[in-house]
Amino acid sequence: MAAEQAGRNFAPSKNAFIKSSYTDASGKTNPMYYLNRDGFMFVTMGFTGDKATEIKWKFIQAFNAMEQKLIQLMAERKSAEWLEVRKLSKCQQMTMIIIKGLLAKGYCYKQIYLDAKQKINDYAQLSLFNQRFITA
């Protein structure tokens, strides 16, 4: 059944369809499914007719409105971050960009600190080495 298939194959829809049963007036037990909102939309997208069409269009309109709001929020956030970045020195800007990149890759602050400390030590030793050669 499509409901079982959707529940098995799509992680976000895992609880969209919950199999159950009911007993009818004759005493016969029949299968049934409880649907959450995602399950309802999944099933509704397959329906035809005026009411289903209305629901589909409202869903599309809500999705588009949500997308526009997210775009607006992201633009506001980038603008605010950019104003903060402009106040920093070039070195601080690069450091902030590198740290954000490392955090996005799953590094923790402690590991970033330890890596940065090691790189600073390496750079300091290299600078001292270069200064000895240049001045000698």
* pLDDT tens track for 29-66: 999 988 888 888 888 888 888 988 888 888 888 888 88
* Of residues 95 and 130, more confidently modeled: 95
Residue owning tokens 């005493």: 27
Can you give the residue range of the structural domain that contains 136?
Answer: 88-136
Same-domain status, 42 and 55: no
pLDDT value at position 28? 95
**Which amino acid is residue 130, in one-letter code?**
N
Q: What is the pTM of this model?
A: 0.39
Structural domains in the chain (count): 3
In this structure, are residues 34 and 16 in contact, taking their beta carbons and an 8 Å threshold? no
Same domain, residue pair 97 and 126: yes
Distance CA 66, CA 37 (A): 17
Select the more confidently predicted residue: 132 or 72: 72
Per-residue pLDDT tens over the stretch 77-107: 777 666 665 666 666 667 767 777 777 777 7
